[in-house]
Amino acid sequence: MKINNAFILCAGFGKRLNPLTLEKPKPLLQIKNQTILEDCINTAIKLKVENIFLNTFYLSEQIIDFFKNKNFSVKIKIIEDGKEILDTGGGILNLINRSDCEDFFVFNPDTIWNENYVSEINDMQKYYFQNKLNNILLLVNKKLSFDNNLEGDFDLEDNIIKQSFEKNFIYTGCQILNKNLFNEYEVENFSIAKIWNKLLMKQQLNGFESINKFHHLTNLEIFKKQIGRAHV
């Protein structure tokens, strides 16, 4: 079994990267002459998905225009959140309702994705199906974060995500979910953390450890450091 669909979350305001994002949506920021959105799409293509769905809200017309001059080897569909931003949970549910997806990847484009992640995500996908899961998050030890000040989100023990004082693991921005997790929710503004927290309480939130160096566009300072690193 394999996953054929990927969702990329592109609706946010990107406030931590102001002033760069005052006139440009965060997914269209560039590193090494390529947008971080393209890095994300190319990673999804290497995972051999057939369809990519993007949700948009803030400066959505720029993202729509961006694709007018691009050709990718997969079908890409842009779905706007609507009159109000839906946050991560509502945005994912809106994409579910506008697609035909059972299990799907979800990507945040503000991680710098590259081909080093492909084998890890494929291994995570195998683990997901072998264990008949409905969720799994790709986590990385905070010691591997390029941003040394980035705090952890969770702890991980035997592929079960836990909440503890230490919080040694960071969510990378890639997960696999099943649409049934959203059955009791409506399309409105809510965070995916609402679903995560319910699963956490039941010890049913699953994790898979990445061993790649983690590059995330946390804020303007880190973005500038990533630009400098790209030109070394």
Residue 94 DSSP class? H
Tell whether the model's pLDDT for residue 231 goes beyond 70: no
Give the span between the Cα atoms of 226 and 218, in whole angstroms: 11
Tell whether the model's pLDDT for residue 164 goes beyond 90: no
Q: Tokens 């609402």 sit at which residue?
A: 194
Tell whether the model's pLDDT for residue 115 goes beyond 60: yes
Give the span between the Cα atoms of 87 and 63, in whole angstroms: 18
Tell me the average pLDDT across 13-27.
Answer: 96
So what's the pLDDT on residue 232? 45
- Mean pLDDT of the residues in the chain: 95
The one-letter amino acid at 114: N
Tell me the average pLDDT across 136-153.
Answer: 96
Confidence of residue 165 (pLDDT cuts 50, 70, 90): confident
Tell me the average pLDDT across 202-230.
Answer: 93
So what's the pLDDT on residue 230? 65
pLDDT tens per residue across span 176-200: 999 999 999 999 999 999 999 999 9
Name beta bridge partners: 175.
106, 137
At residue 46, the 3 state secondary structure works out as helix
* Phi-psi group of 54: left, alpha or beta (phi > 0 → left; psi -120 to 50 → alpha; rest → beta): beta
Q: What is the dihedral of CA 195, 197, 203, 207, to 10 degrees?
A: 70
pLDDT tens per residue across span 62-89: 999 999 989 999 999 999 999 999 999 9
The CATH topology of domain 5-230 is Spore Coat Polysaccharide Biosynthesis Protein SpsA; Chain A (3.90.550)
Name beta bridge partners: 209.
139
Its pTM stands at 0.96
Q: What is the DSSP string of 57-77?
A: -TTHHHHHHHGGG---SSEEE
